[in-house]
């Protein structure tokens, strides 16, 4: 209990992390209460009110179909955050499973899995995503499955390193000596020790995953219209940059705020849980320095 209290104090002391948490909580609340906040249903077309400037009835203006931009942003948040959480959870499960197997059993399994991770890292992330989605045809399901699968490697590497550092400690040897089987040792004794760093890599990767989703939707490979997505809204606004800049401005602002708050939370978690972690999270061996999102590289 004292440990948790100490953690919370260290996290709350950092004003940046607290600010991130407040911003993200506000965004989450807006997502949950989307129906209450938005002035109109996100798909409601009103051609008489097309391309209106921001006003009291439409705080962020309207698009060429007269749809309310604020409503589409709030409903788009559901998709962005939903895809982000789902994809990141898939990465987490795959990474936890393969990473702990590699770290615990070592040997040939370990080297095969780590070479696979090297291959995943050999691609700039966005390009690998593009190459896969171009083949499997775009859509919501292929989007979060692809994002999830591609993100496994950073989680697996981290979990493997953590398992390696824990597995020879006394309490693990004690469990082994008392006759516990591999599954019990891994699940009950080793993995709980890795949770802190997994939480950090999950949060930092979440921002980058949301960014990758927006980039793909911007390119037309992600969420398909008419479903509202931030990336899609920005690309739809390009043609109206001269006359209706609010179409591109507001969705991008929300995207930036979301990613920014997640980076702040992730940095805060990392510093509060374990300052030593900072170097363990950086991608290539030997590189250190507080770099948000370094674990899921290059998706901007």
Partner 1 sequence: MRTFIVKRLAMLVPILLGVATLTFILMYVVPGDPVRALAGERYDEETLARMRTELGLDRPLAVQYVAFLGRLARFDLGRSFVTRRPVAEAIRERFPRTLVLALSAMVLAIVGGIAIGTIAAWGRRPVVSRILMTFSLVGVSMPVFWLGLLLIYLFAIKLRVLPPSGYGGGSIRNLILPAVTLSFASMATIARVTRSGVLDALGEDYVRTARAKGLGERIVLGKHVLRNALIPVITIAGADFGSYLSGSVLTESIFGWPGLGRFVVQAILRRDFPVIQGAVLFMALLFILVNLAVDLSYGAIDPRIRPEGGKR
Query: What number of other Cβ atoms are within 10 A of residue 219's Cβ?
Result: 17
Q: Is 251 exposed, middle or buried (0-12, 13-18, 19+ CB in 10 A)?
A: buried
Interface map 135-164 toward partner 1 (x if CB under 8 A): xx----------------------------
Q: Is residue 123 involved in binding partner 1 (CB under 8 A)? A: yes
Size, binding site for partner 1 by CB under 8 A: 57
User: Nearest approach, Cβ of 66 to partner 1 (angstroms)?
Assistant: 22
- Of residues 22 and 195, the one with the C-beta less far from partner 1: 22
Binding of partner 1 at residue 91 (CB under 8 A)?
no
* CA angle at 208 for the pair 217 and 249, rounded to the nearest 5°: 55
211 binds partner 1 (CB under 8 A): yes
- Does residue 220 belong to the site contacting partner 1 (CB under 8 A)? yes
Asked whether the beta carbons of 146 and 136 are under 8 A apart, the reply is: yes
Please answer whether residues 262 and 293 qualify as being in contact, where contact means their C-beta atoms are separated by less than 8 angstroms: no
Torsion of CA 196, 198, 204, 205, to 10 degrees: -170
Give, as ranges, the residues between 179 and 208 that touch partner 1 (CB under 8 A). Answer: 207
Report how far residue 285's alpha carbon sits from residue 278's, in angstroms, rounded to the nearest whole number: 12
The CA–CA distances, whole Å, from 233 to 76, 92, 140, 208, 249 equal 9, 29, 16, 19, 10
38/263 with CB nearer partner 1: 263
In angstroms, give the least distance from the CB of 46 to partner 1: 26
CB of 253 to partner 1, least distance (A): 8
Residue among 55 and 243 whose Cβ is closer to partner 1: 243
Interface stretch with partner 1, choices 57-65, 180-188, 190-198, 219-227 (CB under 8 A) = 219-227
Largest CA distance in the chain: 76
Token representation of residue 182: 């591999």
- 215 near partner 1, rule: CB under 8 A: yes
Residues in the chain: 300
User: CA 117 from chain center: how many Å?
Assistant: 19
Structural contact between residues 126 and 215, judged by C-beta atoms closer than 8 angstroms: yes
- Site membership for partner 1, residue 56 (CB under 8 A): no
Give the one residue of 127, 141, 184, 239 binding partner 1; rule: CB under 8 A: 127
∠270-90-31 over CA atoms, to 5°? 75
- Select the residue interacting with partner 1 from 17, 73, 150, 234 (CB under 8 A): 234
Stretch that binds partner 1, among 88-96, 170-178, 232-240, 269-277 (CB under 8 A): 232-240
Q: Is 298 in the site for partner 1 (CB under 8 A)?
A: yes
Q: Output the CA angle 86-250-76, nearest 5 degrees.
A: 30
What is the closest distance, in whole angstroms, from the C-beta atom of residue 173 to partner 1 in the complex?
29
List residues binding partner 1 (CB under 8 A): 16, 115-116, 118-119, 122-128, 130-132, 134-136, 207, 211, 214-215, 218-221, 231, 234-235, 237-238, 241-242, 245, 248-249, 252, 255-256, 259-260, 263-264, 283-284, 286-293, 297-300
């Amino acid at each position: 209990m004292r440990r948790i209290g100490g953690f919370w104090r260290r996290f709350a002391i950092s004003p940046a992390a607290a600010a991130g948490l407040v911003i993200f909580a506000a965004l989450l609340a807006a997502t949950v209460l989307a129906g209450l906040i938005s002035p109109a249903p996100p798909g409601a077309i009103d051609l008489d009110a097309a391309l209106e400037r921001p006003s009291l009835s439409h705080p962020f203006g309207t698009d060429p179909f007269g749809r309310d931009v604020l409503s589409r942003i709030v409903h788009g948040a559901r998709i962005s955050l939903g895809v982000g959480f789902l994809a990141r959870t898939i990465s987490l499960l795959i990474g936890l499973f393969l990473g702990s197997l590699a770290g615990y059993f070592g040997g040939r399994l370990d080297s095969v899995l780590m070479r696979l991770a090297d291959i995943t890292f050999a691609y700039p992330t966005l390009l690998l995503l593009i190459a896969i989605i171009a083949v499997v045809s775009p859509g919501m399901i292929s989007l979060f499955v692809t994002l999830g699968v591609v993100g496994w490697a950073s989680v697996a590497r981290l979990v493997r390193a953590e398992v390696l550092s824990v597995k020879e400690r006394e309490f693990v040897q004690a469990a082994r000596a008392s006759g516990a089987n591999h599954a019990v040792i891994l699940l009950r004794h080793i993995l709980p020790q890795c949770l802190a760093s997994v939480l950090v890599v999950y949060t930092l990767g979440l921002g980058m995953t949301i960014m990758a989703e927006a980039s793909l939707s911007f390119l037309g490979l992600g969420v398909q219209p008419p479903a509202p997505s931030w990336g899609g809204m920005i690309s739809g606004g390009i043609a109206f940059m001269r006359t209706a800049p609010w179409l591109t401005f507001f969705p991008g602002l929300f995207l930036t705020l979301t990613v920014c708050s997640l980076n702040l939370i992730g940095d805060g978690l990392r510093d509060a849980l374990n300052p030593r972690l900072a170097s363990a999270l950086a991608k290539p061996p030997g590189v250190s320095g507080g770099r948000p999102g370094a674990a899921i590289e290059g998706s901007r």
